[in-house]
Structure 1
Amino acid sequence: MIQALSDAQRRDWLRLARTENVGPVTFDQLIGRFGDAGRALAALPDLARRGGRMAGLKVATDAQVDQELADGAALGAQLICACEPQFPQALAALDPPPPLIWARGRIDLLDKPAVAVVGARVASAAGQRFARGLAAELGQAGLVVISGLARGIDGAAHEGALPTGTVAVLGGGVDDIYPAEHAGLYARVVEDGCVVSESEPGRAAVARDFPRRNRIIAGLSRAVVVVEAELRSGSLITARLAAEQGREVLAVPGSPLDPRARGTNDLIRQGAALCEGAEDVLRAIEGLRGFREPERTYRGAPGLDPDDALRERVAALLSPTPVSRDEIVRATGAPAPAVFAALVELSLAGRADLLPGGMVTQA
């Protein structure tokens, strides 16, 4: 399934990715079912109608695609689709990968061995010093350091790794500099590192964008190191996603008197490796010889049209509580490809949410 796309195919890929209710799981299923984005786009209205949608599905227009491509080109950014050879190998191994990314800067860094260093925005001076020094040592050991360009630990990690290579993953577009005081740091990352985003250029990040950003941070990395984090922290979401993706998770211990240590200490309590320096990180990833080249085969089923009865049986089994798609298959007793096709139609109709990791909920 690795293929270079023509300009027309890339436009179709982008239109499908920007279509309402088409997330990474639905996108993956549609490509598998129809073979390419153009045929999937042609089938969308009928699929959404069969899933129970009354109003028309909002599909990105040619004008919107033209604008996004022009905005990316003006920044010197590159659009990379998940099926293309340039797509980062580690990210392609996710189930499913993001359909596409925009990248600005040294794209070659995306396929080098990498470690994420993340943590609290309101970080202590000691925590920032540790993150900066850890990133510098990891860079000297040949690793790219990945983080989210946020205040505190993220910014310190980028600073430490700038001389050797760092990647900033953003929730907004590749030009969305947040916080504003990181404008200088952002410019240096673009010059000497790489900035990556799943969002369209010009988009300002909103709350729902950060879990997707965190998934990419974890997906690009062989290990995630959390330096400081409170118990309800986005850094802990990154750590959880990393564990789900089979990455190593490490945490820096801290004083029980500091709320910023509660999250990291709890990670260690749950089985994360303790990190006191770069040696601990290198030891944790020593057995990882790199990621096997993924087959990038899409998981849909060509030509399957579930009937109305099966589709409604599947819909009735859904609830706000996430359940695996395999559980839905077992409950219906129907062939898995037919159930997956029904879930895609329900997703397009806004009646189901297909989540990474094979989970599904009622929308």
Structure 2
Amino acid sequence: MDRLASAPIRLSDAQRIDWLRLIRSEHVGPRTFRSLVNHCGSARAALERLPDLARRGGASGAGRICSIENAEREIEASHRLGVALLAPGEHGYPPRLALIDDPPPLLGVRGAHETEMRPMIGIVGSRNASGVGLKFTQGIARDLADAGFVIASGLARGIDQAAHRASLDGGTVAVLAGGHDRIYPPEHEGLLASVIDTGGGAISEMPLGHSPRARDFPRRNRLISGVALGILIVEAAHRSGSLITGRFANEQGREVFAVPGSPLDPRAAGTNDLIRQGATLTTCAADIINAVAPIMGRPIELPMEEDEPPHEGREPQETDRARIVGLLGPSPLGIDDLVRMAGTSPAIVRTVLLELEMAGRLERHGGGMVSLN
């Protein structure tokens, strides 16, 4: 089974409020949160620096900063619902999720924390699943659960629903696109209750009251692959959201498994393509178990704590900012390429990017790419 490399961390109550305030502030996402904490030394110091960073990035005014009162209200409301807001490395935060490039700084975790710590396999697929696909999903999910794996999925109709129901007895985790009080689809509120009642769990990075929008589902998909040793895609048409999950899995270094299907069924077009591109052809649970067995004993390095020293070195000058902004445009550019072209230190480039982001002028893409809005 998975081993942790060091003892779990635990935030103080004051730190948890600071972390929540920072991640709920305008223009701050998971990647930016980590950059801010690394640059400033702590979430509290970052909160104090946000107005200045935004001003240096060209903003006319400071972006919205989450207040202490709003953060306290969210924590209290979460507790009433049975949701714990956990940081990477705290017990109940899925260990492998902490290793991705953009782990949620605070993850809303509901249900059995022990289940969240166990090895997981993600199962996703078509919402408009075939009967054969549903039957296969039920069988393989049950077999994987019997082998000791927790099944993670997105609580969606079709394949997700079948995977959750078949693995209730062994433990399953629902990864939500909205807040814990905004279940989608609404008819799966009963399924989620069964997941929790049978010793499973649910996770979300979204605040309470947040109803999922189209752009939230890809964010959710990166969590499904992030918690897991590998992802099984049962049925997926071209341009399916399940293929996005597979892409995230590849970027995160996870195993990707795909079930072959008839070339006449458009629901199999995406999975057949994945197999041609190198995904493991999967027809039974043993295909997955044998592939992930070598990974199981590797230690999991815990993520950053908040005790890192702030960035040292000179602050960017106006000439630095002008040169870096001049190199950026609407097309994504790699940060490493930007450092080389700017002819300055990585620390200066990272600081200018933070300033631009706090001003709402920068967009971050996967693979360390950035562009101007």
After TM superposition, the score normalised by the length of structure 2 is 0.93
Asked if residue 28 in structure 1 is aligned to residue 41 in structure 2, the reply is: no
Tell me by how many angstroms 1:95 deviates.
Answer: 1.7
Aligned residue in 1 for 2:280: 273
Aligned residue in 2 for 1:5: 11
Tell me by how many angstroms 1:300 deviates.
Answer: 9.0
Is the CA contact 1:214–1:237 (under 8 Å) kept in the aligned structure 2? yes
CA displacement 1:161-216 (0-9 Å, x = unmatched): 10001000001012222112212111011222100000012211111111111111
Q: Of residues 180, 184, 191 in structure 1, which corresponds to 2:190?
A: 184
| Equivalent residue letter for 1:351 | R
CA displacement 1:261-292 (0-9 Å, x = unmatched): 00101111111110111011112212213453
Is the CA contact 1:300–1:341 (under 8 Å) kept in the aligned structure 2? no
Q: CA RMSD in A?
A: 1.8
Q: Of residues 51, 61, 73 in structure 2, which corresponds to 1:55?
A: 61
Q: Of residues 135, 147, 150 in structure 2, which corresponds to 1:144?
A: 150
Q: Of residues 300, 307, 311 in structure 2, which corresponds to 1:302?
A: 311
Is the CA contact 1:253–1:264 (under 8 Å) kept in the aligned structure 2? yes
Question: Residue 155 of structure 1: SS of its match in structure 2?
Answer: helix
Matches within 5 A, 1:193-212: 193-212=200-219
Between the aligned partners of 1:238 and 1:174, the Cα distance in structure 2 is: 21
Question: Residue 300 of structure 2: SS of its match in structure 1?
Answer: coil
Is the CA contact 1:25–1:356 (under 8 Å) kept in the aligned structure 2? no
CA displacement 1:71-112 (0-9 Å, x = unmatched): 201101101023545532201111232211001101211221
Note the residue ranges of structure 2 that are not aligned, 5 or more in a row: 1-5
Residues 308 and 83 (structure 1), Cα distance of their counterparts in 2 relative to 1, 3 Å cut: farther
Tell me by how many angstroms 1:34 deviates.
Answer: 1.4
Q: Of residues 332, 337, 356 in structure 1, which corresponds to 2:347?
A: 337
Q: Of residues 166, 172, 187 in structure 2, which corresponds to 1:166?
A: 172
| Equivalent residue letter for 1:287 | P
Question: Residue 254 of structure 1: SS of its match in structure 2?
Answer: coil
| Equivalent residue letter for 1:214 | N
Aligned residue in 1 for 2:232: 225
Is the CA contact 2:54–2:61 (under 8 Å) kept in the aligned structure 1? no
Note the residue ranges of structure 1 that are not aligned, 5 or more in a row: none
Identity between Structure 1 and Structure 2 (%): 47
Residues 349 and 220 (structure 1), Cα distance of their counterparts in 2 relative to 1, 3 Å cut: same
Aligned residue in 2 for 1:359: 369
CA displacement 1:299-356 (0-9 Å, x = unmatched): 9961452222212222222233322211111111111111111111111111111234
Aligned residue in 2 for 1:283: 290
Asked if residue 262 in structure 1 is aligned to residue 308 in structure 2, the reply is: no
Between the aligned partners of 2:221 and 2:259, the Cα distance in structure 1 is: 19
Please, which moves more after superposition, 309-318 or 265-274?
A: 309-318
Between the aligned partners of 2:38 and 2:222, the Cα distance in structure 1 is: 22
Asked if residue 109 in structure 1 is aligned to residue 118 in structure 2, the reply is: no
After TM superposition, the score normalised by the length of structure 1 is 0.96
Tell me by how many angstroms 1:56 deviates.
Answer: 2.2
Is the CA contact 2:82–2:110 (under 8 Å) kept in the aligned structure 1? yes
Aligned length: 363
